[in-house]
Structure formats: structure tokens, C-alpha cells
């Protein structure tokens, strides 16, 4: 049951409407509002009743999934496990100086946490009936956003909000890529499947620039991080990482004969990590 009185209000056609109604009356743009297309100077048609094109919609989903998958491994990097020092203090030698904190990584963690919190704060104001996950840590919330709230952003009555959220998500996923989160992960099982990450590339067709959506050339590998997080990771670009269960869902949704193929992959995944 949606309680319209407590939803945040938006100005649509001169009327202040609660979120749910505002969405109904919003006239969505013809072209995707993502800043990326401005830079390329090539517009892409937005999906019906959405601010975003299909490529940008998918890209927001994978950027959030990458944040969810990277968060705990990044934390491990800032505070490596307490295992160091075992046997080192025999004889009362000098106490270890504190480990140098990796500032890049701790800044990245803070920015991911702030961004996820800010999207969730807006979500709660727009949709007060939203059920917060039981254990709302940043990785859990990012995972929840990737699974359930991509359309909430894509169809937000304020196009500028969709644009800003997408831009922040992209910039964070690029920073995750630069820190090569999965350095310490153990490679467990090749999946013999192409990476599903897509990117826009600009090509010249008859002298005119056109944007093409191109699938990554990498192959995916099932990985378990030292902290136990399971993900499917691209062998070319480590940031193309998706929690294993989301990846399974995507395979299921896109394969012509889903159950059998996915079962085979699931078995290979489980065997590899056994
Ligand atoms: Zn787009
Ligand atoms: Zn890839």
C-alpha cells in the first residue's frame, strides 16, 4: 500500500505531485539524458517512459553490481587481516608501526559509501514503503540497488537525478577498475563464457560518428575473494565483476535454453570453488 502523503513531491506541469503520481504525469525525454552521449555528440533514443537508453540502463546496473562486489575486497585491502604479526613479537621486539593506509582505496570506499547512502536516502523519501534490507551495509545496499532499483532511477521524474546518479556510478566503477580490486582473489573456475559488460564506442560510418554498443572481449572466471565474496570476474578488466548470483540470473534471462546451460555453468562454478 503506497501512502502518497509521505512521498516526496515533484513539480510536474505546475502541480506538486507525490512521487508515484509525478511519474505518471512526467513527459520523459525522447533522447537518453546520459552525459556520455553529449561528449560523443551522438544522441541515443531513450527507452519508452524512461530517461535512459538501454545501454545506459544496463551500465547503471553493472556499475552498482561492481560496487557491491568490490566493497568488501577493498575494505580488506585497507585493513589487511590481523594474521600479520604471528610469532613476530617473540622476545618483545619493536612493535610494528601501523600499516600505511592506502589513501586511494580508503577515499574510494568513502565515496562508494556516500554515493550508495545518498541514492538510498532519495529512494526512502520517494518511496517510504521501501523495505530496507535487514543488514544494510554498503555492499548489501549496492547489491539491492543493482537488483531492484535501476528502473527507479531510469524512470525518475527528475531527469537530472537519473543523469547525476548514472554519472557518479560510472566514475566510481572506473575508479574501482583502476585499483584492480581482485589482485588478491584466487582464480577458481573459468566459465567459458564471454564477459557481459557492454561499452559504447564511437565509429565513423560514411564520415559520420555513430555510437555502437560493443560487448567486452574478455572471458569470465568465477572467483572467491580472500574475504569469501563470490563473484564472476572478467579476465581482461577486473572491474567487470558481478556477484555470482546476479550473473547466474542474467545468464538465465538471456540464454535460449536457459535451465540446462545455466545448470551446467552452476555446476562448473560450484566444482571450481569446492
Ligand atoms: Zn544512454
Ligand atoms: Zn569484460
Tens of pLDDT along the chain (274 residues) come to: 557 889 999 999 899 999 999 999 999 999 999 887 776 667 889 999 999 998 889 889 989 998 998 898 888 777 654 444 433 333 333 444 444 455 678 889 999 999 999 999 999 999 999 988 989 999 999 999 999 999 999 999 999 999 999 999 988 987 887 665 445 545 556 777 888 888 777 777 777 777 777 888 888 888 776 666 677 888 888 778 887 777 777 777 776 665 666 777 777 776 666 5
Distance 73 CA to ligand 1 centre (A): 30
Phi-psi region of 68 (alpha: psi -120 to 50; beta: other; left: phi over 0): alpha
Q: Are strands 9-12 and 15-18 parallel, antiparallel or unpaired?
A: antiparallel
User: Which pLDDT value is given to residue 5?
Assistant: 84
CA neighbours closer than 13 Å in the CB half-sphere of residue 126: 20
* 199 Cα–ligand 1 center, Å: 11
> Any idea which ligand is nearest the CA of 211?
1
CA of 201 from ligand 1 middle (Å) equals 12
How far is the C-alpha of 162 from the C-alpha of 153, rounded, in Å? 5
Distance from Cα 204 to the centre of ligand 1, integer Å: 19
Do 123 and 152 touch, CB atoms closer than 8 A?
yes
Q: Give the pLDDT of residue 106.
A: 86
CA 166 to centroid of ligand 1, rounded, Å? 10
pLDDT confidence of residue 29: 95
Ligand lying nearest the CA atom of residue 193? 2
**Closest ligand (CA of 44):** 1
Q: Ligand 1 centre and the CA of 48: distance in Å?
A: 13
Cβ-contact 221, 57 below 8 angstroms: no
Task: Quote the pLDDT of residue 101.
Answer: 53
Ligand nearest to the CA of residue 62, numbered in listed order: 2
Ligand nearest to the CA of 36: 1
Tell me which ligand sits closest to the C-alpha of residue 197. Answer: 2
pLDDT in tens, 159-211: 999 999 999 998 898 788 766 544 554 555 677 788 888 877 777 777 777 77
CA 210 – ligand 2 centroid, Å = 22
Ligand nearest to the CA of 196: 2
- Cβ contact 75:172 at 8 Å: no
> Cα(44) to centroid of ligand 1, in Å?
6
Nearest residue to 156 (alpha-carbon basis) of 61, 23, 34: 23
Model's pTM, two decimal places?
A: 0.63
The closest ligand to the CA of 195 turns out to be 2
**Which ligand lies nearest to the CA atom of residue 39 in the structure?**
1
Amino acid at each position: 500500500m503506497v501512502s502518497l502523503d509521505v512521498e516526496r513531491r515533484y513539480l510536474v506541469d505546475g502541480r506538486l505531485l507525490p512521487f508515484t503520481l509525478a511519474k505518471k504525469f512526467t513527459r520523459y525525454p525522447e533522447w537518453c539524458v546520459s552525459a556520455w552521449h553529449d561528449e560523443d555528440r551522438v544522441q541515443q533514443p531513450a527507452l519508452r517512459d524512461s530517461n535512459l537508453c538501454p545501454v545506459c540502463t544496463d551500465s547503471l546496473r553493472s556499475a552498482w553490481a561492481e560496487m557491491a562486489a568490490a566493497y568488501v575486497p577493498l575494505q580488506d585491502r585497507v585493513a589487511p587481516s590481523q594474521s600479520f604479526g604471528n610469532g613476530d613479537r617473540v622476545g618483545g621486539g619493536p612493535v610494528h608501526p601501523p600499516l600505511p593506509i592506502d589513501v586511494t582505496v580508503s577515499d574510494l570506499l568513502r565515496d562508494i559509501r556516500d554515493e550508495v547512502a545518498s541514492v538510498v536516502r532519495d529512494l526512502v523519501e520517494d518511496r517510504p514503503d521501501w523495505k530496507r534490507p535487514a543488514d544494510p551495509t554498503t555492499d548489501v545496499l549496492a547489491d539491492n540497488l543493482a537488483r531492484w532499483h535501476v528502473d527507479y532511477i531510469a524512470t525518475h521524474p527528475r531527469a537530472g537525478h537519473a543523469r547525476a546518479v548514472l554519472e557518479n556510478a560510472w566514475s566510481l566503477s572506473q575508479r574501482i577498475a583502476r585499483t584492480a580490486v581482485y589482485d588478491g582473489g584466487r582464480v577458481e573456475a573459468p566459465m567459458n563464457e564471454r564477459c557481459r559488460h557492454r561499452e559504447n564506442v564511437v565509429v565513423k560510418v560514411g564520415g559520420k560518428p555513430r555510437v555502437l554498443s560493443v560487448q567486452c572481449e574478455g572471458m569470465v572466471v568465477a572467483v572467491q575473494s580472500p574475504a569469501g565474496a563470490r563473484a564472476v570476474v572478467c579476465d581482461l578488466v577486473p572491474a567487470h565483476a558481478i556477484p555470482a548470483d546476479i550473473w547466474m540470473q542474467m545468464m538465465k534471462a538471456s540464454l535460449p535454453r536457459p535451465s540446462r546451460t545455466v545448470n551446467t555453468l552452476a555446476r562448473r562454478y560450484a566444482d571450481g570453488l569446492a
